[in-house]
Structure 1
Amino acid sequence: MAGRGSSIMEHTAGCRDSSSVSQRFDCLTHVSTCFQTGTCPTQSAAEVARVIFSVVCGPVPGEDRESGPAESCDLTCISVSLVERITSDLTSRVLPPALTSYCGEILTVFQDLDLMSQLVQLFHAEDQIISHLAAKTASTCVFYQLLKSGTVSPVWQQKCVQTFYNSALGPELDACLWSLTEVLKRLLKGAHQDTLGKLLSAFDSSLGALCSKFLPEERKEAMQCSVESWGTTFCLLLDLLEVLTASSLICGAGVCLKSQRITHIHSSALLTTISCCSEYFVKKRALLLLKRAVLQKAGEDWASGDVLSTGIKHKHFSSDMSLLAHSVLTAVATNWLQSVQVESASFFGGARCVRVEEGQKPDCVMLRAVSLLLLKSIELHIQTAGGAAGADSAAEVSGYLQNLWGFLQQCGVQLTEVTHCCCWISLLFGEQDDDMMEAAKALLSIFLHHRWCSGLEDSAVLEAACASGCNPHCHFLLLLQSISFDHSILLDFLISTETCFLEYFVRYLKYLRADWPGFTAACGRISWPQLSLTASCRGDVLKVTCKGQPDRVEHSSCDQPTGVTSPVGTMSPAAGIHLVEYDSSDESEPEDMEVCQDQPGAAVCENISALHVKQEISGQPVPIKLEQYESLNSPGSLSEPNSTPERRPRGPPLSVLQTEEASRPGPQVACKTLARAVLCMSALREVVTRLQTKKLFPYNPSSLLKLLIQVENCS
């Protein structure tokens, strides 16, 4: 081994002596140009490999004294980037045959010269660009070797393991964290579960040691000091934790390592980080990690839905989720919410003009994350052994919700005139479909638990639910009002895989058929013009006053919400504010599901894409607007589309309630709201039935149709 190392050093010295900096630069520039045009360089593969290797090794002391540090740095960056490009192109197999063979020869020479040892040495380079490029190139090489031979580079593995055990702050730790995260991401995207399991096993112990040092359970002061001094490194660690958490969902029962469970095991420490760390971006990243963990959506930003939806859970999954929920609820019970910092919303392009009377706008990403984390934790709590029945359990859950509403009010989301807490969900999640459906589903579970264990009459249960903000009838009606009772948008939700609307809708319909009187009562309650709201979401202040006057929506002079078709300052019920851009929904990947009466969740089955469903409805090539409700006086009538697909008419935000109905008597308003809701569900049933008859619905909707018929019969 010593002889081989001596031979490499001699060979490297020979390479350095044979060419000057300018000659190497010309060579590398020529090689890069040839790769861009898909042609082979004039130099041999071995010669190019030796030039690249000589640059990566660094200059010999005293050599090329006329060249400064900048030239040397540039040359190193070019060389390392070339290695990354060669390896990446070979992995993706996009090169012509001749160039593929040429690049393969270069990698063979690199292997003989042990290039990986030189790359990992650059991990601790003072220049952050060189350190990052070295980590990126090493990751590409490791991934290529894993795919080609199924083996892990021992040099890279040893460097990362030693660095994790050492846990010394600096560019080397950052590079190792980033490099391992990148390799794991690539394996997860490609669904290489077997290879992923082997790699995770090699790092399991060292990752546990790293997280035990930087995520202590009870040392708040030590954590605060450490996080303040390594905020960037901590964010890299959080990225790695999300990848590890996603791997536990993707690998399922096949792999169950402690490192994959770190987010759940150290959830209490992560909550402490959110409350104690002074760096806001660290707080936010930690909170979003916990939110994705509790929603089982870790990795959703970069992993495909097909990869994430394995459905198989590892043996510790239930206990880990319970531990996460317990940590959150314990923290809330000890006033954790009071220590959560929510800064004003940030904007690209500089500061946003703010009216004096508007005040600062809270960061609604943080508000939604805190709310969903708590709501889903409550839902998990009542679904496990920890959620005992009885009045004490109902009071406990109600206390958590009151803490949440108090936190939101403290952060600037205000409901000033009449405190109807059911509107919180609409104020906070009105333009974020996936989060809104998750929140509605969680609140439905919380309500059903409260109804079961409170021992109250139905009317009293609904009153208590409104006081706690979890009346499912109110939530559903607010959703219908936000879409102007347009059944075609509900159809979009049903055939989309981007939200849990199907699961929520089926479960709500089961409850609705058993409590029709409660629904009719909510129609009257939710329609009364009693609200004076001030919401600050997505950077746009929204003030709504409903006191017998037409709704007025005031926006800052510097920002106008996307999709507003009416003039600034006024908004009609048909104003085009969207929860999502429906012209892009046709590009979503279809997922076929089957609704089961006993299991409201969706099981995957092969059928037809949502794209064909929309084509059948419209009779025209997509993108096209679905058939939609036109007139309350012509029940069941379905008209052809008559507006552009880019701006589907949509009702006001969920917080904006009636204009013309504001001056009418309450019973008439309630009657009209009820009629529109029934008509919307009836029209939805008709279109789903027609699509099912033509075998164009993406899953079996028989159970859903049965529930819709039963609900119609209640009316």
Structure 2
Amino acid sequence: MVLTKDKAASVAATDEPAKKKSKFSEEEDNSDLESLQSALLGQCLCPIPESVIRRPFQGLKILRHEDAQGYCATTIANWSRDRTLLFVSAVQLLCEESIKQNSRGLVCSKISDICEALVRNRYGLVEYLIELSAHSDRFVSFASGRALSSFFIASRSHVDPRWLERLAENSLSTTHPQKMSFSLDVMKRITEWKDSEEHPLDERDHLPPASCHLLSVSDAELDSSQIKCLCVKALEAKWPAIVEKFDRLLATTPTRDDSTVVTFLGLWEAIISVKANLSIVDTKPFYVHLANFVALLSSRISPIVWKHMLDLFNEVLCYGSTLALQDMLAEEPCSLAHLIVRSVKDWRLLEAIPFRGGSGKFGGGSGDGDKPLLKKAVLLVLKSVAVTVKETRCESSSDSSSSVSSEGEDADDDMAVIERSIREVLRQLDSCVKTLLPFHPETPLAQWVVQLFSDQDDALVEGMVCCLDVTIGLSHRENASQDLKKVLSPAVSLAQFLRTVSYGDDVLLDLLVSNETCFLLYLLRVLKYMRKNWPEFVSACSNELGDIMGVFSRLRLAIERLIARSLFPYNISPVLRLLEKCEQLYDGANP
């Protein structure tokens, strides 16, 4: 219903005598919430009376009414800031404890019961938390968003799609920009959530008391993929409008609220990320508008927005983890790679990097500059070049198997054109990096890439894979550029990498066992390259060949020891065979 001014005055007058009672009631409710939080920290609600557990939630439906826009108001206006934050934090703690216990397969029965009531929206909790998105205190709004995302993750498949649709609608709000940021952040946290097993030490040290009545849960209740899919589906219908909104926002004038833009870009990256484990069908609609945002990369955009846009593009071009392993590449990453290559070559994209925060070529400020920003840009260019070469080579291979020889010749001509473009792109990249960082002018790109990323294992290995794959992709041509081979020399990269890790075979073994980098892929391909191009490799390594082969020999022995004890986590036989063949080549040349 709609409250007129007279009715509102009447309600206020009749409510006046209840103020003292309301204050007492709030103190009582606060006490209940504090008891609830204390019990949750002990991971069990069994000792708490049912009335105490449910009382804070039962008050949510008191004094509800709808305004002219159908906006639902609750007792929020009568709650103090401390009361609101206490309630919201209790909700978040409850949901996070439920998530943790579900992952173990055993849940406190009272935690399960109250979560079930909240999931069924028996108390209108979802509407209440969404209302707080427009709260005048931004910290209250922030805390409510954290609680709401934890609630959705704890609810999983029981979430009402209409709640997510309302969030998606809020992300287009023009009257309440705070609602937009709130909704995007909640959906981002849901999408990037990872179901992970608890650390054994946490499980041992943090278990419910023996007196707790525990319920077992099935594996089906532990998977968050359903809530992620519901979230993405809710966004899909609104996505073109959301993208257009931020496109206009960034294209007109520099936005004062970079945080909202960053949240939007973070959500976009989370949806596309392979870590989200979403299907290709679910994520395909979110690739459509990427090209517009490449055009927005200019000196007018702040460094923080630059970084997040580069993160988004780098996630699309997930070369080491996905694209390098595929026989045929999808159209979307290839289109983005072509656009990046063209932007660097023809539109001087690298000159717009706000390296020192200012505008113009590399920024006009002072200081050491933004090295993390430069590293993201370098990796994006390397991945764009690698994807472009891989796509052209795949098409060339397909054409060469055709009975029509002219098609193969056309593909070779295409590769020659690509090669010229790549040579110019890498020249500009080399010039940019050497202008901004103190590398010697004669340092080849293959060497400074390793030095640049020496403190970032994942980017370092992916950068080396890109250089290696571009070299391999272009070397099959009879008239391949010798200059590019020198610029991207796999032998130079490998030698610099092994110097960087002090020739430690234990470091290589750690990288092989870890799943945080694509080092297995790199090692397989660089060993194959060594075997096929042994004289060239020996010439490029010169005096360091003995040190390199010494590392590989020790690595082989370490792998064999682990295999003998059944401790290696996967089949490493292909690497072992290649290590042995390279050692044989070395021993044959050095009897």
Calculate the TM-score normalised by the size of structure 2. 0.75
SS in 2 for 1:484: coil
Contact in 1 for aligned 2:250/2:301 (Cα 8 Å): no
- The Cα offsets for residues 626-685 of structure 1, whole Å up to 9 and x where unpaired, read as xxxxxxxxxxxxxxxxxxxxxxxxxxxxxxxxxxxxxxxxxxxx2xx2222222222323
Match of 2:459 among 414, 432, 435: 435
Aligned: 1:196 with 2:228: yes
Match of 2:293 among 258, 270, 287: 270
Contact in 2 for aligned 1:214/1:226 (Cα 8 Å): no
Equivalent residue letter for 2:309:
A
Equivalent residue letter for 2:574:
S
- The Cα offsets for residues 285-304 of structure 1, whole Å up to 9 and x where unpaired, read as 2212222331269xxxxxxx
Aligned: 1:129 with 2:154: no
Aligned: 1:79 with 2:111: no
Counterparts in 2 of 1:24 and 1:318: CA distance versus 1, 3 Å: same
Match of 1:327 among 339, 343, 363: 339
Aligned: 1:294 with 2:317: yes
Q: How does 1:158-557 map to 2 (within 5 A)?
A: 158-166=165-173, 170-186=177-193, 191-215=223-247, 223-225=250-252, 227-246=254-273, 250-253=277-280, 255-259=281-285, 261-262=286-287, 265-295=288-318, 318-333=330-345, 334-343=347-356, 360-385=367-392, 388-389=411-412, 390-416=415-441, 418-453=442-477, 455=479, 461=482, 464-466=484-486, 469-524=487-542
Equivalent residue letter for 2:111:
T
- The Cα offsets for residues 303-323 of structure 1, whole Å up to 9 and x where unpaired, read as xxxxx999999x997111112
- How far off its partner does 1:106 sit? 6.6
What is the CA–CA distance in structure 2 between the aligned matches of 1:381 and 1:247, rounded to whole Å?
Answer: 20
1:704 alignment partner in structure 2? 575
- The Cα offsets for residues 374-421 of structure 1, whole Å up to 9 and x where unpaired, read as 1111111011148853543322211111111111123234314x4434
1:20 alignment partner in structure 2? 22
What is the CA–CA distance in structure 2 between the aligned matches of 1:336 and 1:73, rounded to whole Å?
Answer: 47
Equivalent residue letter for 2:417:
D
1:118 alignment partner in structure 2? 128
What is the CA–CA distance in structure 2 between the aligned matches of 1:293 and 1:477, rounded to whole Å?
Answer: 30
Contact in 2 for aligned 1:362/1:412 (Cα 8 Å): no
- How far off its partner does 1:232 sit? 1.2
Q: How does 1:484-633 map to 2 (within 5 A)?
A: 484-524=502-542
- How far off its partner does 1:446 sit? 1.1
Equivalent residue letter for 1:208:
P
What is the CA–CA distance in structure 2 between the aligned matches of 1:183 and 1:434, rounded to whole Å?
Answer: 25
What is the CA–CA distance in structure 1 between the aligned matches of 2:338 and 2:173, rounded to whole Å?
Answer: 32
SS in 2 for 1:699: coil
Contact in 1 for aligned 2:323/2:387 (Cα 8 Å): no
What is the CA–CA distance in structure 2 between the aligned matches of 1:54 and 1:92, rounded to whole Å?
Answer: 32
Contact in 1 for aligned 2:191/2:228 (Cα 8 Å): yes
SS in 2 for 1:342: coil
- How far off its partner does 1:325 sit? 0.7
Equivalent residue letter for 1:403:
Q
Contact in 2 for aligned 1:328/1:374 (Cα 8 Å): yes
What is the CA–CA distance in structure 2 between the aligned matches of 1:90 and 1:51, rounded to whole Å?
Answer: 22
**Structure 2: gaps of 5 or more residues:** 3-10, 40-44, 64-72, 197-221, 358-365, 397-410, 587-591
- The Cα offsets for residues 89-115 of structure 1, whole Å up to 9 and x where unpaired, read as 44444898574377358748x934433
- How far off its partner does 1:247 sit? 6.3
What is the CA–CA distance in structure 1 between the aligned matches of 2:54 and 2:147, rounded to whole Å?
Answer: 19
**Structure 1: gaps of 5 or more residues:** 3-9, 64-70, 217-221, 298-307, 345-358, 525-669
Equivalent residue letter for 2:531:
R
Counterparts in 2 of 1:373 and 1:164: CA distance versus 1, 3 Å: same
What is the CA–CA distance in structure 1 between the aligned matches of 2:115 and 2:562, rounded to whole Å?
Answer: 53
Equivalent residue letter for 2:333:
M
Counterparts in 2 of 1:421 and 1:321: CA distance versus 1, 3 Å: closer
SS in 1 for 2:282: coil
Equivalent residue letter for 1:492:
D
What is the CA–CA distance in structure 2 between the aligned matches of 1:309 and 1:464, rounded to whole Å?
Answer: 25
Counterparts in 2 of 1:84 and 1:226: CA distance versus 1, 3 Å: farther
Equivalent residue letter for 1:58:
T
What is the CA–CA distance in structure 2 between the aligned matches of 1:105 and 1:690, rounded to whole Å?
Answer: 51
- The Cα offsets for residues 399-452 of structure 1, whole Å up to 9 and x where unpaired, read as 111111111123234314x44343211220122222111111100111122322
Counterparts in 2 of 1:15 and 1:702: CA distance versus 1, 3 Å: farther
Matched length: 507
- How far off its partner does 1:484 sit? 3.1
- How far off its partner does 1:371 sit? 1.1
Moved more, 499-508 or 266-275: 266-275
Contact in 2 for aligned 1:15/1:51 (Cα 8 Å): no
Contact in 2 for aligned 1:520/1:674 (Cα 8 Å): yes
What is the CA–CA distance in structure 2 between the aligned matches of 1:422 and 1:16, rounded to whole Å?
Answer: 76
What is the CA–CA distance in structure 1 between the aligned matches of 2:92 and 2:336, rounded to whole Å?
Answer: 39
Counterparts in 2 of 1:25 and 1:310: CA distance versus 1, 3 Å: farther
What is the CA–CA distance in structure 1 between the aligned matches of 2:85 and 2:454, rounded to whole Å?
Answer: 46
What is the CA–CA distance in structure 1 between the aligned matches of 2:165 and 2:322, rounded to whole Å?
Answer: 33
1:50 alignment partner in structure 2? 58
What is the CA–CA distance in structure 1 between the aligned matches of 2:117 and 2:131, rounded to whole Å?
Answer: 20
What is the CA–CA distance in structure 2 between the aligned matches of 1:133 and 1:224, rounded to whole Å?
Answer: 31
Aligned: 1:31 with 2:39: no
SS in 2 for 1:281: helix
Contact in 2 for aligned 1:188/1:196 (Cα 8 Å): no
What is the CA–CA distance in structure 2 between the aligned matches of 1:325 and 1:310, rounded to whole Å?
Answer: 12
What is the CA–CA distance in structure 1 between the aligned matches of 2:564 and 2:238, rounded to whole Å?
Answer: 57
What is the CA–CA distance in structure 2 between the aligned matches of 1:310 and 1:448, rounded to whole Å?
Answer: 16
Moved more, 85-94 or 203-212: 85-94
What is the CA–CA distance in structure 1 between the aligned matches of 2:18 and 2:153, rounded to whole Å?
Answer: 29
Counterparts in 2 of 1:423 and 1:317: CA distance versus 1, 3 Å: closer
Counterparts in 2 of 1:89 and 1:409: CA distance versus 1, 3 Å: same
- How far off its partner does 1:506 sit? 1.3
1:353 alignment partner in structure 2? none
Moved more, 46-55 or 700-709: 46-55
Contact in 1 for aligned 2:386/2:466 (Cα 8 Å): yes
Identity %: 20
1:714 alignment partner in structure 2? 585
Counterparts in 2 of 1:153 and 1:488: CA distance versus 1, 3 Å: closer
Contact in 2 for aligned 1:364/1:428 (Cα 8 Å): no
SS in 1 for 2:549: helix
Calculate the TM-score normalised by the size of structure 1. 0.63
